[in-house]
C-alpha cells in the first residue's frame, strides 16, 4: 500500500502517469531539471522537486537525488516511466532498500532481461523460440569467430546490454567480422558500461511483433495482444499499430502464450513487453524483453479500452489483475507515430530551439468539435525550450478507427494538419510513410525504410515555391500590421526586401497594387527553376497566426491557401517560421544585414543572431580598421561575418570557435 507517487521522468510520459495516479486518488510528486521548471508535468503534479541542471546525469539519471526527493516529500512509491532509470536494476534495488515501492518488476527480473545473453539463456530454458546464435560467456575474438562460422552469415553482432540499435552491427561475411566486433564492443561499453556481445543469425524481411504482458504478485500472468512495430529506421521504431495486419488468430495465441512463458521464466511482475521477430513463413523468435511501459502503449490502450498505467499502480499496490485472459477483448485498430525534433533532410539531425507555436489538430476549427478517434500525448507547450540534453521525441500522434484504413486516414490528417513551429520536425517523413503503398497494404518489414524509402522527397531539401517566397516577404515586411490590424497594411509604391531560407538568398520587390493585393518581383533566379519572375498575392484574412491568401500567377482559377506562421526577433534579425506539409521553413529578413552586423562607431561586437561561431579572425592586441571582419557566425546554414564598427585594438575576446551563442551576445570588445 502507498499514498504518494513520485514520477522519476519528464515530458509526456510523466504527465500520463500523474494523470492516472490522480484519478486513483494518489498524491503526486514531479521531479525536474532547471530547464524544465515550467514544464507541464511540473504544473500538473501536487508537488515538485528540482534535481539540478539540464544534463541528465545531474538530474533524471541521478539516483541519489531522486531518492532524496522522495524522502523530503514523503513519497512511498516511485514510477520510473520509460527511458532514463526505468530499466536500471540498481535503481529498482535502491528503491526497495529505502522502503519505496518501485512501480515495475523487481531488480532481479530487470537485471536478467537487461542482459541479452542471460535473457536468451533463460528463454531457451523456458522453451521460448529464439533466433539461432551465440550467447556464451567466452567473449574472446576466437570464440566469437568460431561461433559465427557455425551460425552462418549474415549475422548480427549485438551488445548484450541496452538497446536502441547501439552496439549493433550486421555482418555479411567473415571479412567484416573483426571490425564489427571491435566497433560494437566500443560502442556498447560507451553506451552501457559493458562490452559483452552476443551473435544472432541475421533474419531479413521480418516483422517486429511485440506482446504486451501483465503479471501480478498473486501468480497471474496474461497478455493484452500484440503491437506491430515493423516500420523502423536504424532499429528505432517509427510507426506502431495494434493489432498486427500479419497475425492470424492462431499465431496471435501462440505468440501470446510464448510471451507469458517468457514472463514466468523471470518471475515477472507488472507491465512488460516481449519482442519477437516474425518471418514470412510465420516462424517467430524471441528478441528481447522490455521491463517497463513502452512508448507505444497507447495503441494497446485504445484497442482494449484499458488504462495500462492504472493497471501498473493497482498491481504495485498488491491487487490482483483486474481481468483474466478470457476477459481481454480487442476492438478496432490503432496506429501511433512519434513526432521528433529532427531534420529528415539532414540525416535526421536532432534539432534544438524554442517552440513558437504548437497546435495539434484535434478539433475542427469551424465547429469546435473534437475529431473522433484522435489522441496526442505531448510534453511540450508554446515557449518550450528543446535542448540537446534529452531525447528529441516531442509528442506521439495516435489514431483509432473501426478498421485499419480508417485509423490510418485519421492519423494522416492529424499529422498533416498539426503545426509545430520554432524548429524542424519529422512530420513530412511520417506523412509520406503513412501514404506509402507498402504501409497502406500492411506489408511493411523492418527493412522497408532502409531498402525502399531512401529516395523519398521527405528526405531531401525541399523546394521553396514562389508563393512561399512571396508570403514570407510580405509577412517579414508587413507582419505586425497583417497580424494585428486585420490586413489594413500601409500603402507604398515599391519596397525591396532580401530574405534567406536555408541555402537560398532571394531579393524581391514588393509593389502595392490595391486593397490587400501585392505584386512581388523576383530579382534573382527562382530556385525551383520554374522561370517565374513575379507573382501577385491577394491577402484574404489573418487570425491566430494563420494567413489565408490567393496566389495569382497567370492561372484562370487560383486556389485559396492557408499558411500558419510565427515571427520573432533573433538578435538583429527578423525570423519567420512558415508551416508546410513538406516541412517547416525558416526565413530571415537580411535586407539590412550588412549595415547591422556592427553599429558604426561601436566598440562592441555582438552576435547578430543565435548561431555557432565558426571562425575567429583576430587575437587580443591586434590592430583593426572599421569594416574588418573579426569573427563569423553560422546560422540557418549560412555564414554571417561580423565586422569592426571602428578603428581600434582588439581587447577582450569573449568567445571561441565552436561556441553556441545567442543573439545580441557580446563576443569582442575593441579599444581605441
Report the alpha-carbon distance of residue 352 to residue 275 in Å, rounded: 32
Residue 174 DSSP one-character state: G
> What is the four-CA torsion angle of 45, 50, 56, 58, rounded to 10 degrees?
-150
> Among 596, 653, 602, 607, which Cα is nearest to 633's?
607
Contact status, residue 368 vs residue 427, Cβ threshold 8 Å: no
Pairing of strands 47-52, 27-33: parallel
**3-class DSSP state for residue 111?**
helix
- Would the CA dihedral through 529, 534, 538, 541 be positive or negative? positive
Report the alpha-carbon distance of residue 503 to residue 658 in Å, rounded: 20
Rg (CA), the chain: 28
Side-chain half-sphere of 80: how many Cα atoms within 13 Å? 33
Pinpoint the alpha helices (H) of 126-176: 141-151
Can 413 be counted among the known catalytic residues? no
Quick one: three-class SS letters along 625-654? CCCCEEEEEEECCEEEEEECCCCEEEEEEC
Q: Which residue has the cell 511501459?
A: 293
Distance (Å) of CA 296 to CA 240, 263, 272, 288: 7, 19, 12, 16
Report the alpha-carbon distance of residue 518 to residue 503 in Å, rounded: 26
Backbone angles phi, psi at 246, to 5 degrees: -100, -15
Beta carbons within 8 Å of 232's beta carbon, 6+ residues apart: 208, 238, 446, 449
Report the alpha-carbon distance of residue 44 to residue 32 in Å, rounded: 12
The set of cell numbers assigned to 299 is 495503441
Candidate list 169, 292, 375, 506, residue with the active-site label: 292
Active site residues: 292
Amino acid at each position: 500500500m502507498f499514498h504518494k507517487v513520485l514520477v522519476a521522468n519528464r515530458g509526456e510520459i510523466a504527465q500520463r502517469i500523474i494523470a492516472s495516479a490522480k484519478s486513483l486518488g494518489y498524491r503526486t510528486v514531479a521531479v525536474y531539471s532547471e530547464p524544465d521548471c515550467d514544464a507541464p508535468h511540473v504544473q500538473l503534479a501536487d508537488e515538485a522537486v528540482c534535481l539540478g541542471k539540464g544534463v541528465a546525469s545531474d538530474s533524471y539519471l541521478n539516483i541519489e537525488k531522486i531518492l532524496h526527493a522522495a524522502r523530503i516529500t514523503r513519497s512511498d512509491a516511485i514510477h520510473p516511466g520509460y527511458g532514463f532509470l526505468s530499466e536500471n536494476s540498481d535503481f529498482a534495488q535502491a528503491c526497495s532498500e529505502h522502503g519505496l515501492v518501485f512501480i515495475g518488476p523487481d531488480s532481479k527480473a530487470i537485471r536478467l532481461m537487461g542482459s541479452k545473453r542471460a535473457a536468451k539463456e533463460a528463454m531457451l530454458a523456458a522453451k521460448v523460440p529464439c533466433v539461432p546464435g551465440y550467447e556464451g560467456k567466452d567473449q574472446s575474438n576466437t570464440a566469437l569467430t568460431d561461433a559465427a562460422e557455425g551460425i552462418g552469415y549474415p549475422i548480427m553482432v549485438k551488445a548484450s546490454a541496452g538497446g536502441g540499435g547501439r552496439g549493433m552491427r550486421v555482418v555479411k561475411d567473415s571479412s567484416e567480422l573483426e571490425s564489427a566486433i571491435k566497433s560494437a564492443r566500443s560502442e556498447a561499453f560507451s553506451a552501457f558500461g559493458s562490452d559483452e556481445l552476443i551473435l544472432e543469425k541475421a533474419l531479413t524481411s521480418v516483422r517486429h511483433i511485440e506482446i504486451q504482458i501483465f503479471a501480478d504478485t498473486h501468480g497471474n500472468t496474461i497478455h493484452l495482444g500484440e503491437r506491430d512495430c515493423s516500420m523502423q529506421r536504424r532499429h528505432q521504431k517509427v510507426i506502431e499499430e495494434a493489432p498486427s495486419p500479419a497475425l492470424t488468430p492462431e499465431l496471435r495465441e501462440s505468440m501470446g502464450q510464448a510471451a507469458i512463458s517468457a514472463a514466468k521464466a523471470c518471475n515477472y511482475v507488472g507491465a512488460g513487453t516481449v519482442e519477437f521477430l516474425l518471418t514470412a513463413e510465420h516462424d517467430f523468435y524471441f528478441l528481447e524483453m522490455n521491463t517497463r511501459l513502452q512508448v507505444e502503449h497507447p495503441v494497446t490502450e485504445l484497442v482494449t479500452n484499458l488504462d495500462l498505467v492504472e493497471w501498473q499502480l493497482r498491481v504495485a499496490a498488491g491487487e490482483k489483475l483486474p481481468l483474466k485472459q478470457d476477459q481481454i477483448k480487442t476492438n478496432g485498430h490503432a496506429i501511433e507515430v512519434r513526432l521528433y525534433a529532427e531534420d529528415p533532410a539532414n540525416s535526421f539531425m536532432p534539432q534544438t530551439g524554442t517552440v513558437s507555436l504548437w497546435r495539434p489538430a484535434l478539433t475542427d476549427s469551424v465547429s469546435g468539435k473534437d475529431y473522433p478517434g484522435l489522441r496526442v500525448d505531448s510534453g511540450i507547450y508554446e515557449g518550450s525550450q528543446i535542448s540537446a540534453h534529452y531525447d528529441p521525441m516531442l509528442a506521439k500522434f495516435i489514431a483509432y478507427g473501426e478498421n485499419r484504413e480508417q485509423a490510418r486516414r485519421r492519423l494522416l490528417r492529424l499529422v498533416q494538419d498539426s503545426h509545430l513551429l520554432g524548429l524542424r520536425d519529422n512530420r513530412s517523413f511520417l506523412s509520406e510513410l503513412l501514404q506509402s503503398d507498402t504501409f497502406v497494404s500492411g506489408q511493411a518489414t523492418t527493412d522497408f525504410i532502409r531498402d525502399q524509402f531512401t529516395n523519398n522527397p521527405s528526405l531531401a531539401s525541399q523546394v521553396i515555391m514562389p508563393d512561399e517566397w512571396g508570403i514570407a516577404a510580405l509577412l517579414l515586411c508587413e507582419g505586425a500590421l497583417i497580424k494585428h490590424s486585420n490586413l489594413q497594411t500601409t500603402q507604398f509604391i515599391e519596397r525591396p526586401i532580401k530574405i534567406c531560407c536555408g541555402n537560398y538568398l532571394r531579393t524581391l520587390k514588393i509593389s502595392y497594387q490595391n486593397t490587400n493585393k501585392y505584386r512581388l518581383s523576383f530579382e534573382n533566379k527562382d530556385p525551383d527553376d520554374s522561370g517565374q519572375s513575379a507573382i501577385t498575392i491577394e491577402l484574404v484574412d489573418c487570425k491566430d497566426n494563420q494567413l489565408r491568401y490567393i496566389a495569382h500567377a497567370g492561372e484562370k482559377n487560383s486556389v485559396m491557401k492557408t499558411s500558419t506562421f510565427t515571427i520573432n526577433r533573433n538578435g538583429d534579425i527578423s525570423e519567420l517560421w512558415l508551416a508546410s506539409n513538406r516541412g517547416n521553413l525558416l526565413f530571415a529578413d537580411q535586407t539590412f544585414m550588412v549595415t547591422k552586423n556592427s553599429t558604426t562607431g561601436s566598440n562592441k561586437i555582438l552576435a547578430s543572431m543565435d548561431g555557432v561561431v565558426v571562425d575567429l579572425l583576430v587575437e587580443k592586441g591586434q590592430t583593426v580598421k572599421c569594416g574588418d571582419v573579426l569573427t563569423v557566425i553560422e546560422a540557418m546554414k549560412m555564414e554571417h561575418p561580423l565586422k569592426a564598427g571602428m578603428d581600434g585594438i582588439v581587447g577582450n575576446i569573449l568567445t571561441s570557435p565552436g561556441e553556441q551563442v545567442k543573439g545580441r551576445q557580446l563576443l569582442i570588445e575593441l579599444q581605441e
